[in-house]
Each structure stands twice: as C-alpha cells, then as structure tokens.
Structure 1
Amino acid sequence: MLKSLHLPKTDLVRRTPFFYGWVVWAAATLGLIATSPGQSFTVSLFFDHFIADFNLDRTTVSSMYGLGTFIASLSLTWVGRQIDRVGNRRASTVIAILFAIVLALWTTVMGPFGLLIGFTAIRGLGQGSLSLSSTTVVAQWFERRRGQVLSLMMVIFSLFQSQYILWLEDMLIRYDWRQVWLILAGIMAVVVVPVSWLLLRNKPEDYDMQPDGDDLVDEIMTDVVEAMPDVADGADPVDDGNWTLSEALRTPIFWIFTLGRVLGPTFGTGLILHQVSLFQSLGHDGSLATATFSQFTLMSAVVAIVFGWLMDRFRPGLMLAVQLGALVATMLLATAMSNPTLVPIYAITFAMVMGSGGVFDGTVWPNLFGRRHQGAIRGFVTTINVIGSAVGPVIFGLSYDLTGNYSAALFVGVALALVPLLLSFFAKPPTRRKQKVA
C-alpha cells in the first residue's frame, strides 16, 4: 500500500544528475524566504498604518499582535505531527496555499477584530508552519553537514531581508497598505506554491538514497565532517537514535535547550517590533533604527555561516551558551547605547542572537533525537518559541507604559537568560535505559 504512494522512477529525483537534496534545499530556502510576510520585521512596517487607520494606540496593537501570535502557536505541535504523517511536500504546499489566501484577505480587514484574526493567521502559517516545514525538510536530506547546509539557508534569508525591507518600505510609500498585502499574496501563489509542489520531496529513503548523498556537487559545496561525538554516543543503535516527542520531553537537555532558545524569540521580537521607539527613547533618530536593522541583517548572514560550521564541530550546549551570552550583551547594550558608538556593537551582538537561532533549531533537535519524529519535536519547540515571540512585545509595551523606557523589560531578560546559560554547560546528550542483549 505504501509502495503505491512513492513517486515513479522517472521522477525528477532520479533524473537529476547530482544529489537531489540540493534541489530540496533550494526550494526550502525559497519557502523560508516566503515566511517574511509573517515575520515581525514585516509587521513592524505596517504598525503605523494600523494605528492610524483603526485609531488604536501602539500598546493595543502590540498586545493584539502578541495575542494573535500566542493563539497561532497553539497549533504548531499539531502541524509538526502532520508534517511527519503526510510529508513535507504536501504539508508545505498546503501551508503555502493557505498563506497566500490569508495574505489576500488582509484587503478585507476593517477593524481591530479583523486585525487580530490577520495577526493570528500570518503568524501561524508564515512565521510558524511554513518556517517549520521548510527547515524540517532540509534536515531530512542532510545529516553530517546539517549545520553547514542550514547556515547557508539562513545566510540567503538574511541577505534577502536586507533588500526586502527596503523594497517593502518603497511599496508602502507607493501603494495603500492593503494593496501591498495583495501583492505579497500574488507572489506567494504564483511562485512559492508551484515550487513547493514540483520540487520538494519528503526524504531520501523514498528513493533508496541516504542523507547527504555522494556526488561531486555535494563534495564541492561542503566538506566531509564527523558527526558530533556527544550526540553519536547518545544515539540508540536499535532505532538509529529516533526519539518520540514524549520520550524527548523526559530528558533534561530538551528543557534546558528549549528554555534557552525561547528567550531569543521573546526578547528579540520585542526589540525588533519596538526598535524605532527604543532608539528614540535613547535619544537617536528613528531612521537610525532602520539603518541599524539593515546592518543587522547583513551581519546575521555572516553569523549563520560561522555558526553552522561550529554546530557541526562543537557541543550543542556550548553553542547555546554563546547564543545566550550574545543575548545578554544585546539587552545590556539596549539599555545604555545613548552613545552612538555603541550602536554598531549592539547590531553585532543582536545579529549573533538572531543569526544563530534558526541554524541551532534546525540542527540540534534532529541531531539529538533523530529525524523520524522531528516534525512533532520541532513543532512543540516552535510552539514554545512562538509563544515567547507573542509575550515579548507585550513585556516591552508594559515596560514603556509603566516606566517610560524599556530598561525593566531588558533587565528581566538578562536575569532569565543567565539561568539556561549556566545550565547549558552541564547539559548531557540524551540516553535511554536499555536492556542488554545476551
């Protein structure tokens, strides 16, 4: 029965003269880029339009954005399970179709309730589901060089952001904001949907292949590296290290890493969404915030390259500690960078946080717990991360309303980050208690 679901031997996979994982990587990278309309850096450019058109204050819009993000996050564990069940190709195509429809429906938003529904939809489908499916399929096709390949994916995403933000600002000047959403919907429908269906494939084993492949293109693009020794030692030889979500939830390392990872989206989203206000509260012109963000996206590309290379060579606990250390530095700088000379340093540390996050998530979970159930595991982790990104803007909004600045929120973030930072040095790979075979 299952054999009948496999694609025929004449499929594009078998006719491609090099390892098809690189085609999957290219299509998935496009899918990751297509999450942009659901990301905070896009929504932040529409904030002033929402405030003006719906006669709302900034805190209210931020709270609605946070609530919509929280509601959206509740579906992501289920989405991850569906990816495991039906495969990335079908899941990504359906998600892209729904995302295109939702983007088009922004033209009908006429009030606060519609705004909330819109936030929920684009955060759930774009920032959550499409991002999850795009990075999950790459982790299926690559194993030894997973960190390097995912970092390359994040590099392209970061480089795209730097140009996309400028393009989107220009579009919002030339067109009504509702028309801009319609343009984004058209691009999604015409480009991303067909590419997802035509080029994505679920996993190499469906074609009697192994992850990473063995061909000239693969050798040129990445070096052969050893699997991380601490992860390999923790793998289960009986089932090739594939853990279910319920099994992963019972390991200390899962919760240490989840706690450490959620803080980046929580306070990073707060910083991005309130970046103009933050810079103005420190005595800078709002235009400096936009310029810094542009620098930040380019720096994130460099960070992604380096971090992906390091993820394939060093203990994941150490890499989490580096990321959290950068987050602590970013938040401390955000409280004190009234001196313009500190702004570039802030951009560098912030780029370290945001540029490393996607590479870490795409690499560490399948490395620790295997590929078979990674949709469910990463869906759960993504749910937590998206909840964090929902809470962050509200924390920042409350801090500003109650104290007139963002220092309270930032110091809370520093205190929280220090906990998993210290625990990460003691995180051990997951191991099972198994009966010995005589």
Structure 2
Amino acid sequence: MAADNNERRPDLIKNSPVHYGWIILAAGTFGSFMTLPGQTAGVSVFFDPLTTELQVSRSWASMAYAAGTLAGILPAPLIGRWIDRRGPRLSATIIAAALALACAYMAIVESGLMLLIGFALLRGTAIGGLSLVSGQVVNLWFVHRRGIAAAAASLGVAAGSMIFPPAIEALISFYGWRGAYLALALLIGATLLPVAALVFRDRPEKYGLTTDAGLPPATTEVREEPSFTRPQALRTGVFWLLTAIGFLTNAIGTALLLNHFSIMQGAGIGRADALLVLSVYAAVQVAVTLGTGALIDYYEPRRLVPVAMLFLALASALPAFGTGIVVSWLYALCLGGAYGSQQAIGAAGYAQYFGRDHLGAIRGVSSLFGVSGAAFGPLPFAASIEWTGSYAVALIGSCALCLACGFASFVVRRPAISK
C-alpha cells in the first residue's frame, strides 16, 4: 500500500528536498499573509481616498463595511463543508481567483451600493475563504505538532499587517486607489493563485507520507485522533468555549484597536506614545502566539483559555481604572497576550478536539461567530462614549464577560472521542 501511495505522489512531492509538510506550512503561512487585502488593516488604507472620490461619508462607509463583513461571512459554514469535500487544493485555487476578482471589482466601484457589494466580496473571499483553507491545510498535515505549526502559520496575518499597509499606501500615491486595487488583483493572480494550484495538497496519508513533517510527537502520550461531524461538534461544550473566546477577542479587540487613540487619550497618553503602544502590542502578539502554540502540543487548549481571557480582561480594565505611561505599557502587554494566545488556541484547538475529517465544516461555523464579533464589537463602545462621555461602561462590561468565559473553561470537559 505504501508503495502504491509512493507511485501516486506528484513530482512536486516526490522531488521535494525536505518533507512536504514543511512546504505545506510555508504555503499555509503565505495564504494567511495574502488575506490582508480583505483584512481591516488592508482595507482601512483605502478608506480616505475611496470615500472622497465616491462622495460618501466615512460613517456610511464604516456601516457598509460592517454590513459587507456580515454578508461575506454568512456562507462560511457552506464554504467549510465544500473545502472538506473538494480538498484544499481545488478550494484554495478557486478562492484565490475569487479574491483577485474581488480586488479587480473594487477598482470599478462607482456607488455606495457597489461599495457594499465589494466589501462583501473582499471579506467573504479573504476571511470566509482564504483564511479558512490556509488554516485547514496546515491542520491536515500536522497532528501531534499542530499547536506550534498552526500558530506559526497564523503569523502570516501579523506579517501582512506590517507589510501591506505601507505597500498599499505607496501604490495609491503612484496609481490612485483604483490602480492600487488592480495591482493587488495582479499580485494575487501572479503569486497566490499558482501557489494554491501547485502546492496545496490534501492530507499526507494520501501520498504515503507521515504527519507532522516527519517529526516525533512532542509528548510520549499520543491520543487517538477524533473524528467529529459538525452536528456532533456543535453539541459539545468545548466547541462553544473555543467559539466564545474567538467572539470575545474579535469583538473587544476590534473595539479597542478601532478606538485606540481615543481610549489612550482618556488614559492620559499622547498620540506618539499611543503609536509606540501599538508597536509593543504587535511584538507581544507574535511572541505569545508562538509560545502558546508550543504549549498546545503539551496541554489541552481549554486549559489555556483562562490565560487568554485574563489577558483580555486586564486589557479592558486597565484603561478603565488607570492612567499614565505604565498603564499603557501594561495594556499593550495584555492586549498582545490576549490576541496571541487566542490566535494559537483557535488555530489548533478545533482540529485537536474534533479531528480533520470535518474540520472545514466545523471551522466554518466558528468563523461565522468570530467575524460577527468584529462587526458588532465596536457598537457598545460607541454607545458608551456617546451616552456617558467615556468608555468605562463598555470596558468594565468587557472585563466581566472575559472573566466569565475564563471561569467557564473550568467547567467544560474534553469531549469523548467520536469515531
């Protein structure tokens, strides 16, 4: 049987100088990196020139972005099932082509309605599609070393957040915002599309290869791999625990970052120091993502949930009750820790608890909740500042929700293995 699998290996896999799992890890990381044209960090650079030319208000564009985000992410459960059935190679190829077309469509937007449709296409293909399949392919190839591998792949988004915004700004200055979107479409077509079509592959067992890039398990205790269907996973407490921390981190984190300079001003921090806080936050996020990923190879993801929620609770409480530069530094450490730990838990947790067989369908549902959190999270903060003149009510409420979620992790049990 192994010989038959070897004969069916594509030349790219047979001729790889290293275990093909490392190639998959690089490809999944690149896929995460290329989601940036549809991520908030990428779209935000276009906001000013786009709203000026289309003569729509920034508030209207923000509402269109939120509505487009929700419309784009709604098909995520169906996309996840489709990835399970068709495999990551075909799925990623079609999604990459769709993302390139979405960027090309944005270059011809002429009205507010077209803008809303464009946002839905961008968010749906990048977040509901490419992000999902890029994480999926890494989880298919890594099992016992999944924590650190999935965490490393998820850092593609962090790298993209540092590289794409200044690059997009430069493109806009040379070619205008429409030309910049066309350039992004060409970039995706020239790089991501061939990577998806040529490099992405289904699970290693189909090619007679071992999981985890040939590395031994991180621990001597190796558990049987589970195989939950989506309905079975949705009936477990662990699924809703992982989904809850994803929702809360996206909701509260988006609100904190969207209102960052205003919140820092309320804590007595000037703009220059507030910019430095963002840099510290990003650095901490990278370090904690990798650290948490390594821990997941030794400990259950649910055991690390209290740490992630404590970080986010502190990030919410510090600007509500404290002021000064020390508070801002602690805030940066806690927010980076919250995002980093949740990123690693979400990247590897679902596959560890529910297996690889129906992972796309399961992650599709969780993504729907996570992205919805990013869309709705800023609303309580906007209401708090408008009705009370400060963010204190929203911050304290966020802190309480995080603590409740952290305590819930002590009640939720590991689901029994389903085969």
TM-score of the superposed pair, with normalisation by structure 2: 0.90
Do the aligned residues in 1 keep the contact of 2:241 with 2:405 (CA within 8 Å)? yes
Question: What is the alpha-carbon distance in structure 1 between the residues aligned to residue 347 and residue 270 of structure 2?
Answer: 36
Matched residue, 1:361: 346
Do the aligned residues in 2 keep the contact of 1:326 with 1:352 (CA within 8 Å)? yes
Could you say what secondary structure the match of 1:327 adopts?
Answer: helix
Task: Give the letter for the 1:312 counterpart.
Answer: D
Question: What is the alpha-carbon distance in structure 1 between the residues aligned to residue 220 and residue 272 of structure 2?
Answer: 45
Could you say what secondary structure the match of 2:409 adopts?
Answer: helix
**1:257-296 alignment to 2 at 5 Å?**
257-282=242-267, 284-286=269-271, 288-296=273-281
CA-to-aligned-CA distance 1:281-318 (integer Å, 9 cap, x gap):
55545455444333322222111111111111123222
Matched residue, 2:3: none
Do the aligned residues in 1 keep the contact of 2:22 with 2:213 (CA within 8 Å)? no
**1:216-231 alignment to 2 at 5 Å?**
218=215, 224-226=217-219
When structure 1 is superposed on structure 2, of 144-153 and 329-338 the one drifting more is 329-338
Q: CA deviation at 1:404?
A: 3.7
TM-score of the superposed pair, with normalisation by structure 1: 0.87
Task: Give the letter for the 2:325 counterpart.
Answer: P
Matched residue, 1:22: 22
Do the aligned residues in 2 keep the contact of 1:81 with 1:375 (CA within 8 Å)? yes
- Whether 1:339 aligns to 2:319 is no
- Whether 1:394 aligns to 2:379 is yes
Matched residue, 1:187: 187
CA gap of 1:64–1:300, structure 2 versus 1, over 3 A, is same
Question: What is the alpha-carbon distance in structure 2 between the residues aligned to residue 245 and residue 278 of structure 1?
Answer: 40
Matched residue, 1:136: 136
- Whether 1:71 aligns to 2:71 is yes
CA gap of 1:290–1:172, structure 2 versus 1, over 3 A, is farther
Could you say what secondary structure the match of 1:380 adopts?
Answer: helix
CA-to-aligned-CA distance 1:47-103 (integer Å, 9 cap, x gap):
333444445554433332222111122110001000000000111111111001111
Do the aligned residues in 1 keep the contact of 2:65 with 2:119 (CA within 8 Å)? yes
- Whether 1:254 aligns to 2:247 is no
- Whether 1:81 aligns to 2:81 is yes
Question: What is the alpha-carbon distance in structure 2 between the residues aligned to residue 407 and residue 48 of structure 1?
Answer: 29
**1:38-187 alignment to 2 at 5 Å?**
38-187=38-187
Q: CA deviation at 1:172?
A: 4.2
Could you say what secondary structure the match of 2:107 adopts?
Answer: helix
Question: What is the alpha-carbon distance in structure 2 between the residues aligned to residue 337 and residue 59 of structure 1?
Answer: 30
Number of matched pairs: 416
Do the aligned residues in 1 keep the contact of 2:69 with 2:124 (CA within 8 Å)? yes
Q: CA deviation at 1:280?
A: 4.6
Task: Give the letter for the 2:106 counterpart.
Answer: W
Could you say what secondary structure the match of 1:426 adopts?
Answer: coil
CA-to-aligned-CA distance 1:149-172 (integer Å, 9 cap, x gap):
122223454244334334344444
CA gap of 1:287–1:51, structure 2 versus 1, over 3 A, is farther
Do the aligned residues in 2 keep the contact of 1:270 with 1:396 (CA within 8 Å)? yes
Question: What is the alpha-carbon distance in structure 1 between the residues aligned to residue 126 and residue 7 of structure 2?
Answer: 28
Do the aligned residues in 2 keep the contact of 1:66 with 1:393 (CA within 8 Å)? no
CA gap of 1:133–1:179, structure 2 versus 1, over 3 A, is same
CA gap of 1:288–1:384, structure 2 versus 1, over 3 A, is same
Do the aligned residues in 1 keep the contact of 2:319 with 2:327 (CA within 8 Å)? no
**1:303-382 alignment to 2 at 5 Å?**
303-336=288-321, 338-382=323-367
Question: What is the alpha-carbon distance in structure 2 between the residues aligned to residue 114 and residue 277 of structure 1?
Answer: 31
Do the aligned residues in 1 keep the contact of 2:32 with 2:156 (CA within 8 Å)? no
Residue segments in structure 2 that go unaligned for 5+ positions in a row:
1-5
Do the aligned residues in 2 keep the contact of 1:102 with 1:122 (CA within 8 Å)? yes
Task: Give the letter for the 2:410 counterpart.
Answer: F
- Whether 1:427 aligns to 2:386 is no
Question: What is the alpha-carbon distance in structure 1 between the residues aligned to residue 59 and residue 323 of structure 2?
Answer: 24
Question: What is the alpha-carbon distance in structure 1 between the residues aligned to residue 245 and residue 307 of structure 2?
Answer: 11
Could you say what secondary structure the match of 1:152 adopts?
Answer: helix
When structure 1 is superposed on structure 2, of 154-163 and 321-330 the one drifting more is 154-163
Could you say what secondary structure the match of 2:291 adopts?
Answer: helix
CA gap of 1:429–1:402, structure 2 versus 1, over 3 A, is same
CA gap of 1:413–1:47, structure 2 versus 1, over 3 A, is farther
Do the aligned residues in 1 keep the contact of 2:226 with 2:418 (CA within 8 Å)? no
CA gap of 1:252–1:92, structure 2 versus 1, over 3 A, is same
Task: Give the letter for the 2:350 counterpart.
Answer: W
Q: CA deviation at 1:10?
A: 4.5
Question: What is the alpha-carbon distance in structure 1 between the residues aligned to residue 256 and residue 241 of structure 2?
Answer: 23
RMSD: 2.7
Q: CA deviation at 1:141?
A: 0.3
CA gap of 1:342–1:370, structure 2 versus 1, over 3 A, is same
CA gap of 1:277–1:433, structure 2 versus 1, over 3 A, is closer
When structure 1 is superposed on structure 2, of 418-427 and 251-260 the one drifting more is 251-260
Matched residue, 1:3: none
Identity across matched positions, percent: 31
